[in-house]
Amino acid sequence: MLAHGLARRFEERSGHIGLSTVTEDLGQSASCVGRIDRGADGIEEFGCALAEDQAEEWRAHIALDEAAFETVLNAYFPEQRYAEPRAWQQRAFNHPSQPVIGISYFEALAYCHWLSATSGRSYRLPSEAEWASAARGYSGLRYAWGDAFEALLGNVGPTRWRASTPVGVFPEGRSAQGVDDLSGNCFEWTCSLYGTEDGQPEFGYPYRADDGREDQNAPAQVLRVARGGSWADGPDTARCAYRYPLHPALRHITVGFRLVFDSTNSSEEGADSRSS
């Protein structure tokens, strides 16, 4: 069994992207389990290679047949039902003013449906084009605040906060549209599809909403696009144009979500009652 295929199986079961960067000789990984730093600055500062004991464990996995490897997967990732976001009980991530992180794409969708049903208003995840428009504005900025990276304008790896921050901590980093944390703090799910393989987008740019990338009935194994960078990643990932392909089952502490209020699909009665 090739290392890349084995790592992909781990990704599909765990929802962690980054394992498939492990190469067949297991000596050239530039990422940790569940983490990936694609920017040159991020790799230099936050990347890590496999330790020898980890490499030995991977070699042992590669030697297994399908049935034995399935047993390993079941031991690592037993079926379970989640009742709260990941890190919900950790003080570093659960302040009411911090973004909710550690939820999958499907959980974010479920929250949108619940909020829409209880409020009478229509809420959904943004498409990546909508997200980019809010972040870049009409001038097409590189970062939400401008074209030059500055570590004190958003919560990214070089800021060295080491956790998500309350919304509003970086007012000078707001986008031209007045939106907080569009470069940094946490990656945000969008509803747009990427493809089935990391690094091989089936839906590229220029953006076309009618090319299938906004198919909300796509199979679960299709990667979704997240945007925005995070507190744990380098400046490159905080660029407004950066597309992060994630397995929709991912529940990682660098990934959260942002909602779009769709006024065209909201009931007038619900809107009135909500604003009163």
Query: What is Dmax (Cα atoms) for the chain?
Result: 64
Has residue 26 got a pLDDT over 80? no
The pTM assigned to this predicted structure is: 0.77
Reported as a single tens digit per residue, the pLDDT across 28-43 is: 333 333 333 333 333 2
Please compute the mean of the pLDDT values over residues 124-134 and round it to a whole number: 96
Reported as a single tens digit per residue, the pLDDT across 153-196 is: 999 999 999 999 999 999 999 999 999 999 999 999 999 999 99
Query: Percentage of the chain with pLDDT > 70?
Result: 78
Task: State how far Cα 14 lies from the chain centre.
Answer: 14
Structure tokens at 274: 């909500």
Q: Identify the CATH assignment for 105-264 out of 1.10.3720.10, 3.20.20.100, 3.90.1580.10, 2.70.98.10.
A: 3.90.1580.10
Closest CA relative to residue 12, chosen from 1, 2, 20: 20
- Phi then psi for residue 47, to 5 deg, are -70, 160
Q: Are 107 and 96 in contact (CB under 8 A)?
A: no
Hey, where are the domains in the chain?
Answer: 3-76, 105-264
Q: Is residue 27 classed exposed, middle or buried when 0-12, 13-18 and 19+ CB atoms within 10 A define those classes?
A: exposed
